[in-house]
């Protein structure tokens, strides 16, 4: 064979530190100051107080928003009650649907603006707000708009009626999506709304208020007021509210539960989780590794249904761990506005401190910690994706919700063992099962005590699918047909 | 393990052949345990497609893009595989391989020219000492429907003519019949016939259809001694796709985990735009890492990709797109 003497191979740098590709901020119009959206108008708070909302990736101030006190809440509830009595409650369902469709379309039209602001205010990567959050938001409005004039088919042979005024309190992890989950079914069923977004992420909800104003929705049907815990408490305790819908921490859920005891308020609570993500030895391992990554590092792990407890069958443990560590290295942590970023900023200083506290507990417990070697920005709140191995069921890290990019890894031997371990938690929101065998999936889905169980995938959401928990993960369902029932007297 | 209706003698001969093959294997790859291919890892198609689409979301700009485009050019196996190929056609293509676009200084050459065995000598002469390799498709390409001794002769002829690389096809019919040992032995026999030429094993994934089978064929090809695994002949649609390539890259990664031996990858057919080529490079980088990011370990089997890359490079340099007429067709 003739030998080729010259080597024509070139080597050039093409690694995962891709050149920056930031999304433009130009489409995001953020005002210097936001008032409360009450009765179709932006009104100054009677407290006269405002608080800052910052970009967690840079710690720079984005805007300031009004701090609503009890008097403001009362004003909003009165507006909602009037709208319910005078316009919205009487409106034919078909007409209601038109408004909801209009809101859905307007969200689609301004999808880019919403994505950019969601990322600026909350720290989540633009890839997620663009490809997941905002499309789902529009889909939720479309889906429930479709139900508005078909409620009698959703609940045949029942005399259905709306509840009245719904007080809705939402968290900071999916600010706009949670607003959509709350507002869309409430409007479709003929209720009016007082909604409070989280204090660290109020901007997209206020942008939604602008859209609602432009959509000519009758004044008072949706009121959006900002504030912290005290504002939320004022909503929960307001006597003229018929329904409380809350998504957030289990601790606050318990407080709400106590506050509404003895009243005739209806309640749905969607609280914390500590989901088991279970990998069997016959699973398609490369795809399972992808599911593990998606399960725990999606939205920096700020997901109530995050797959934060990984269970790997012992016979494939070494392989899975090696693949997982390799995959961790290709994750890009950094500027959330960069289109290549996989993991963005932790939502707030407070949450960052909380996660760091757990990292320290893990170290103290003697667990093996592994973090990817990726560089992270000096400014802003960032944490490297973290794995803990050598974790026992009795470890605090495996028991408590961390709400960050931190995964604990445990091993198991048999199906029964893993079912028992997975259910051995006060939570019960979600779980994941990875196996090639259909019968095993059915066995586990019937025995795992969790509201949502994903098979060979994770963190998939759809407006048609109900979502909610068992045990301390709350009660009531949002999404799908079940989500309608939560806003109706049946 | 073997069908019991086979005469004892044939079984015995077969076992002997297998033993010889295994002995050769041991000689070339020091003590690699050969797994049961019927239990190759299963693949979840939905998961693979989702992961593959994630690579297309990477936004490749500035220096990364420039480097990616130059790497792509350097990874191309510039291909002509037509019944009407002639000396003239092959010589022109060989000139293009070394002079992609001389008005742009400092461009690399392509990795190799890929031709039928009858054209190897011509290509070899035309390429001279340029460093561009000559790859020959052998083993009754593209169907592979010929007896083993014909395939071996085909291979040996191409190697004797000067081929640096041999692109063989597996017997898809036998594979689909479940005759994995047959497929394995055939690859091993061709590998032996290659001598020092590097062997690319074409799975023709468009005929295997499912990703489970792609994975299994990849495992067989690597354990049987293939230096490259390659998706397609380019004669069957679909040819290379990102999900199929991802499954093969993951098979390469698993083989590397187990044996420490690197195997090269060649998607072929259907990659004609630079943007898609950059997506493949992202996939390669994020699946196998930097060690694989050169033409020793990754190739594009393509004929029209080079000009699209050149067009993009000129756009990066001058800021404007130029007409296709500015780039020579071969």
**Within a domain: residue B9?**
no
CB contact under 8 Å between A16 and B42, yes or no, is no
Is-catalytic flag, B23? Answer: no
Q: Which of B167, B185, B219, B227 is catalytic?
A: B167
Mean pLDDT of chain A: 96
**Within a domain: residue B176?**
yes
pLDDT (tens digit per residue) in A224-251: 999 999 999 999 999 999 999 999 999 9
Looking at residues A99-119, what average pLDDT do you find? 98
Is-catalytic flag, B200? Answer: no
CB contact under 8 Å between B296 and A291, yes or no, is no
- A9, A283, A326 ranked by CB distance to B74: nearest: A9
Domains of chain A: 33-271+472-489 (3.40.605.10), 276-462 (3.40.309.10)
A107-to-A112, A189, A323, B49 alpha-carbon distances in Å: 9, 20, 39, 28
| Cβ neighbours of residue B140 closer than 8 Å, sequence gap 6 or more | B146, B150, B151, B154, B169
pLDDT score, position A6 = 78
Reported as type and span, the H/E element at residue A3 is: none
**Within a domain: residue B1?**
no
Task: Please count the structural domains in chain B.
Answer: 1
Residue B7 has pLDDT above 90, yes or no: no
CB contact under 8 Å between A287 and B160, yes or no, is no
**Within a domain: residue B12?**
no
**Within a domain: residue B27?**
no
Looking at residues B266-291, what average pLDDT do you find? 97
- A14, A282, A285 ranked by CB distance to B67: nearest: A14
Domain containing B209 equals 44-326
Residue B23 has pLDDT above 60, yes or no: no
Report residue B11's pLDDT band, with 50, 70 and 90 as the boundaries: very low
Looking at residues A62-83, what average pLDDT do you find? 98
- Measure the CA–CA gap between A108 and B283, rounded to whole angstroms: 31
**Within a domain: residue B283?**
yes
The answer to whether B236 and B204 have CB atoms below 8 angstroms apart is: yes
The answer to whether B247 and B221 have CB atoms below 8 angstroms apart is: no
pLDDT score, position B26 = 43
Is-catalytic flag, B266? Answer: yes
Residue A69 has pLDDT above 60, yes or no: yes
Residue B38 has pLDDT above 80, yes or no: yes
- Measure the CA–CA gap between A98 and A120, rounded to whole angstroms: 31
pLDDT (tens digit per residue) in A378-412: 999 999 999 999 999 999 999 999 999 999 999 99
pLDDT score, position B32 = 79
**Within a domain: residue B31?**
no
Instruction: Give, as one character, the DSSP assignment of residue A333.
Output: B
Looking at residues B153-175, what average pLDDT do you find? 98
Residue B18 has pLDDT above 90, yes or no: no
Report residue A322's pLDDT band, with 50, 70 and 90 as the boundaries: very high
Report residue B30's pLDDT band, with 50, 70 and 90 as the boundaries: low
- Measure the CA–CA gap between A474 and A458, rounded to whole angstroms: 20
Helical pair A93-109 and A203-214, crossing angle rounded to 10 deg = 120
Residue A1 has pLDDT above 50, yes or no: no
Report residue A5's pLDDT band, with 50, 70 and 90 as the boundaries: low
**Within a domain: residue B7?**
no
Stronger pLDDT, B3 or A445, i.e. the higher one: A445
pLDDT score, position A27 = 87
pLDDT score, position A439 = 97
pLDDT (tens digit per residue) in B58-102: 999 999 999 999 999 999 999 999 999 999 999 999 999 999 999
Residue B126 has pLDDT above 80, yes or no: yes
Looking at residues A298-313, what average pLDDT do you find? 98
Q: Which of A118, A128, A270, A401 is catalytic?
A: A270
- Measure the CA–CA gap between B16 and B181, rounded to whole angstroms: 13
- CATH, residue B322: 3.20.20.70
- Smallest Cα distance from B103 to chain A, Å: 19
CB contact under 8 Å between B74 and A8, yes or no, is yes
pLDDT (tens digit per residue) in A144-166: 999 999 999 999 999 999 999 99
Looking at residues A41-48, what average pLDDT do you find? 96
């Amino acid at each position: 064979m003739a030998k080729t003497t010259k080597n024509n191979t070139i080597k050039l740098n093409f690694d995962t530190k891709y050149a920056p590709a930031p999304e433009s901020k130009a489409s995001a119009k953020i005002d210097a100051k936001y008032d409360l959206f009450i009765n179709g108008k932006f009104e100054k708070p009677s407290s006269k107080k405002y608080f800052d909302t910052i970009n967690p990736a840079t710690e720079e101030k984005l805007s300031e928003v009004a701090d609503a006190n009890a008097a403001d809440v009362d004003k909003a509830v009165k507006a909602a009650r009037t709208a319910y009595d005078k316009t919205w409650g009487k409106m034919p369902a078909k007409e209601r649907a038109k408004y909801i469709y209009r809101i859905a379309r307007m969200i689609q039209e301004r999808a880019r603006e919403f994505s950019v602001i969601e990322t600026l205010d909350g720290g989540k990567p633009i890839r997620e707000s663009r490809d997941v959050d905002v499309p789902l938001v529009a889909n939720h409005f479309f889906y429930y708009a479709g139900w508005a004039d078909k409620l009698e088919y959703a609940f045949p042979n029942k005399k259905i009626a709306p509840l009245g005024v719904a007080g809705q309190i939402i968290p900071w992890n999916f600010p706009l999506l949670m607003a959509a989950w709350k507002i869309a079914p409430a409007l479709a069923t003929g209720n009016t709304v007082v909604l409070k977004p989280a204090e660290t992420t109020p901007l997209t909800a206020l942008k939604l208020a602008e859209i609602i104003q432009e959509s000519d929705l009758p004044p008072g049907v949706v009121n959006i007021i900002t504030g912290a815990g005290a504002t939320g408490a004022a909503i929960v305790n307001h006597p003229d509210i018929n329904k409380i819908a809350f998504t957030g921490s289990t601790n606050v859920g318990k407080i709400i539960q106590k506050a509404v005891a003895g009243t005739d308020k209806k309640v749905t609570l969607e609280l914390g989780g500590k989901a088991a993500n279970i990998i069997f030895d016959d699973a398609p391992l490369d795809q399972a590794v992808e599911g593990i990554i998606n399960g725990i590092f999606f939205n920096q792990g700020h997901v109530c249904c995050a797959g934060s407890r990984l269970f790997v069958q012992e016979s494939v443990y070494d392989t899975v761990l090696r693949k997982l560590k390799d995959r961790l290295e290709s994750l890009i942590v950094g500027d959330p506005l960069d289109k290549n970023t996989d993991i963005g900023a932790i939502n707030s200083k407070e949450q960052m401190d909380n996660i760091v506290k757990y990292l320290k507990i893990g170290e103290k417990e003697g667990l093996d910690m592994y973090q990817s070697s990726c560089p992270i920005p000096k400014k802003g709140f960032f944490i490297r994706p973290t794995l803990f191995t050598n974790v026992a069921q009795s470890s605090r890290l495996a028991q408590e919700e961390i709400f960050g990019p931190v995964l604990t890894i445990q091993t198991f031997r048999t199906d029964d063992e893993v079912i028992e371990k997975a259910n051995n938690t006060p939570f019960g929101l979600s779980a994941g099962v990875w196996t090639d065998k259909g019968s095993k999936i059915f066995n586990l889905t019937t025995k795992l005590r969790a509201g949502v169980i994903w098979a060979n995938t994770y963190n998939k959401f759809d407006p048609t699918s109900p979502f909610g928990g068992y045990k301390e993960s709350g009660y009531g369902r949002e999404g799908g047909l079940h989500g309608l029932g939560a806003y109706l007297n049946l | 393990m073997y069908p019991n209706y086979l005469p004892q003698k044939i079984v015995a001969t077969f076992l002997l052949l297998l033993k010889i093959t295994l002995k050769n294997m041991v000689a070339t790859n020091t003590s690699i345990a050969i797994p049961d291919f019927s239990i190759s890892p299963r693949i979840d198609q939905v998961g693979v497609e989702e992961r593959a689409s994630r690579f297309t979301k990477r936004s490749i700009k500035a220096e990364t893009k420039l480097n990616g485009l130059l790497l792509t050019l350097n990874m191309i196996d510039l291909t002509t595989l037509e019944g009407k190929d002639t000396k003239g056609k092959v010589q022109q293509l060989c000139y293009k391989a070394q002079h992609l676009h001389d008005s742009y200084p400092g461009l690399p050459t392509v990795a190799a020219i890929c031709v039928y065995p009858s054209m190897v000598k011509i290509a070899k002469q035309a390429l001279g000492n340029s460093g561009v390799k000559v790859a020959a498709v052998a083993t009754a390409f593209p169907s592979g429907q010929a007896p083993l001794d014909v395939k071996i002769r085909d291979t040996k002829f191409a190697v004797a003519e000067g081929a640096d690389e041999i692109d063989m096809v597996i017997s898809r019919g036998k594979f689909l019949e479940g005759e994995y040992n047959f497929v394995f032995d055939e690859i091993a026999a061709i590998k032996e016939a290659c001598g020092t030429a590097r062997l690319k094993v074409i799975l023709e994934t468009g005929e295997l259809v499912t990703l489970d089978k792609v994975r299994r064929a990849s495992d067989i090809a690597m354990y049987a001694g293939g230096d490259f695994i390659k998706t397609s002949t380019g004669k069957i649609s679909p040819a290379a796709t990102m999900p199929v390539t991802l499954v093969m890259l993951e098979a390469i990664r698993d083989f590397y985990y187990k044996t420490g031996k690197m195997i090269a990858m060649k998607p072929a057919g259907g990659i004609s735009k630079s943007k898609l080529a950059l997506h493949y490079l992202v996939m390669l980088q994020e699946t196998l890492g930097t060690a694989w990011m050169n033409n020793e370990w990754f190739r594009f089997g393509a004929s029209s990709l080079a000009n699209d890359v050149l067009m993009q490079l000129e756009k990066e340099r001058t800021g404007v797109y130029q007409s296709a007429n500015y780039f020579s067709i071969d």
